[in-house]
Structure 1
Amino acid sequence: MAESNTVARPYTKAAFEHALAKNTLDQWSEMLATTSVVAQDPTMRQVLGNPAQTSEQKAEVMIDVCQEQMTAETKNFISLLAENQRLALLPEISAQFEQLKASQQKSVDINVTTAFDLGEQQQQKLTQALSTKLGCEVSLTSEVDKSIIGGVIVRTDDLVIDGSIRARLAKLAEALSA
């Protein structure tokens, strides 16, 4: 069976191109995020997986639950997904949409893990350095993990930079045992 990301890609691309043309990226992003969360709810998964329900009924349920986020265009999108039995792909479609949106807006979300809490000034310097290195706007979130001993681990969707003491010690131990 095809991978969900492969099956979701044409729907994501169509939604993204439409939202970009209509200048409604943020509204589509919100709608997809909301419907993604709703589609992952165990009760909703049962409803969407019920073979006794027609495609129209499944679409109506999803639209009714997410009414506040829906426009006529997004309702049509949900109906199309239901008709093609693809409502379960909403989480993947949402994730892919966010990647396309970030690429379009030249922004990236980065998670930084450090052994100690970063001060505001350190976060600003790190954000500025990463923005320069990556050539885009950086949104930084940080977390503390004392088990890395020192250094920093930088994570984004497709990049991990592990500059932690723990990783260096692991490499040293591997070299010594070889």
Structure 2
Amino acid sequence: MAEMQTLARPYADAVFELAEAKGELDAWSTSLAALSAIVDNEDVAALMDNPGVGDTVLAEAVIGVGAEDLNEGARNLVRLLIENDRLRLAPSIAALFEQRKAEAESRVDVRVTSAVAFSDEQQAALAKSLEKRLSRTVRLSFEQDENVIGGAVIRAGDLVIDGSLRAQLERMRTTLAH
């Protein structure tokens, strides 16, 4: 995984700089998300693994599938990735691009995992609190996981705030054991 990120970073950085210079960040987000989904498709993976499929045929197939969603720059990126045998990097390129875009927009995507759903009021309060703490606009996504027991686990990039009941019990157990 780390190797994929390392290989994908120069492509993501180049695409980001191009998109930012042209004011096309949202268009590129759409194109890269589409390309990522195409590359993750089992049928396309079979084409990529088939040594009998040439670069031109593969490029035409990928571009054909994403015709509506791939801008001209993304089509050129597909050709470049295929030429360099790096098409499998598309999902990592898309993820790294989105990270750069979020930084440029002073936005952070936050995933909240809890045992129960949050009410609208709780979501708004949490967003406001996180925006204050992180000094950024927060975009929340929620998922439920009964293993959390109570409380919530909040992930914002590398920051993890584990306020779950399980984590609290583990901290108490550790404290009592020492």
Normalised by the length of structure 2, the TM-score is 0.92
Q: Deviations over 1:86-130 (max 9, x none)?
A: 111101101101101111111111112234332211211110110
Alpha-carbon distance in 2 for matches of 1:74, 1:145: 37
Secondary structure of residue in 1 paired with 2:153 = strand
Secondary structure of residue in 2 paired with 1:150 = coil
Q: Deviations over 1:11-39 (max 9, x none)?
A: 11111111111111111111111111110
Distance 1:96 1:175, change over 3 A: same
Q: Deviations over 1:40-62 (max 9, x none)?
A: 11111010122222222211111
Stretches of 4+ moved more than 4 A in 1? none
Q: Would you say 1:100 and 2:104 are equivalent positions?
A: no
Point out the more displaced range, 37-46 or 143-152: 143-152
Q: Which ranges of structure 1 fall in alignment gaps of 5 or more residues? A: none
Q: Percentage identity across aligned positions?
A: 41
Q: 1:55 touches 1:85 (CA, 8 Å); kept in 2?
A: no
1:146 CA drift (Å) = 4.3
Partner residue, 2:46: 46
Q: Deviations over 1:138-164 (max 9, x none)?
A: 011223344433322111221110012
1:28-43 aligned within 5 A = 28-43=28-43
Partner residue, 1:117: 117
1:1-178 aligned within 5 A = 3-177=3-177
Tell me the matched-pair count.
Answer: 177
Alpha-carbon distance in 2 for matches of 1:77, 1:176: 57
1:177 CA drift (Å) = 4.3
Point out the more displaced range, 51-60 or 80-89: 51-60
Q: 2:115 touches 2:146 (CA, 8 Å); kept in 1?
A: yes
Alpha-carbon distance in 2 for matches of 1:94, 1:46: 21
Secondary structure of residue in 2 paired with 1:126 = helix
> What is the aligned-residue RMSD (CA, Å)?
1.7
1:69 CA drift (Å) = 1.1
Normalised by the length of structure 1, the TM-score is 0.92
Alpha-carbon distance in 2 for matches of 1:165, 1:71: 47
Alpha-carbon distance in 2 for matches of 1:92, 1:30: 15
